[in-house]
Amino acid sequence: MKSESNNLKVTRITMMVIAILGVVLACLKYPKTNELEGVRNQITATNKEIRDTKESAKNASPLNNRSNFNLKYSEGLVQDKVNKGIKMGLGGFKNTQEYNDHKKEIATLVGENIANKMYKMNGDPDLTYDLPKGKSFKFLLTKNTVVYTAFERVTNIHDAKVLAIVKYQMTDGNSDKVQSEHLCIAHLEYDLTNQKVIYSQLTPFYKSINQ
């Protein structure tokens, strides 16, 4: 009987230990109420940010049914601006003074980066490469610059990608005879809603010497 009583006592103590461990583990396993609330708030904020981002992208798309934006018309305006700006910058002027007088307009059309780069491209590359800022030089380009402009598929009217292939000619400076022909490529990003340049870069990639 005594042995049986001891067994019951051991069993009771064991059950109590298990119960206490269960409570401790539950406290460790489940975070406090304020911690849970913080996690819920973070999830809610993240979901809202995702919804807002999707809505912004939808509103910026020219495919948005609620938008009255005329994509083709806006693209046409940008193409005219890019063509005009590049033709002004490459062969449009006789000297540094003329270029500087119109530099702000060129920068508005094709971006300040391209406007600065085209200025030096009007002269002999060997002389203009390390030319100090503001230093004048002899302009050698003809007025026969050709520009082919196209858009990537527009998915965001606030950031449209424009590509332009440019062909221009250089003389020896003593006559109108063409000494070399050059090709370069322009990459631009335009906000079609306000017709402003966001980004622009011009890269020469081909030169042909006339014999």
Cα distance between residue 173 and residue 72, in whole Å: 41
Would you give per-residue pLDDT tens digits along the chain (211 residues)?
545 555 565 566 666 666 666 665 565 555 556 655 665 666 566 666 656 665 665 565 665 655 689 999 999 999 999 999 999 999 999 999 999 999 999 999 999 999 999 999 999 888 787 777 767 899 999 999 999 999 999 999 999 999 999 999 999 888 889 999 999 999 999 999 999 999 999 999 999 988 6
Neighbour tally for 149: CB within 10 Å = 19
| Inside any domain, residue 65 | no
Same-domain status, 160 and 188: yes
Q: Both 92 and 164 in a single domain?
A: yes
| Residues 53 and 76 placed together within one structural domain of the fold | no
Of 60, 89, 105, which one is at a domain's C-terminal end?
Answer: 60
> 183 and 90 in one domain?
yes
pTM for the complete prediction?
Answer: 0.69
User: Residue 178 domain-assigned?
Assistant: yes
d(CA 79, CA 192): 11
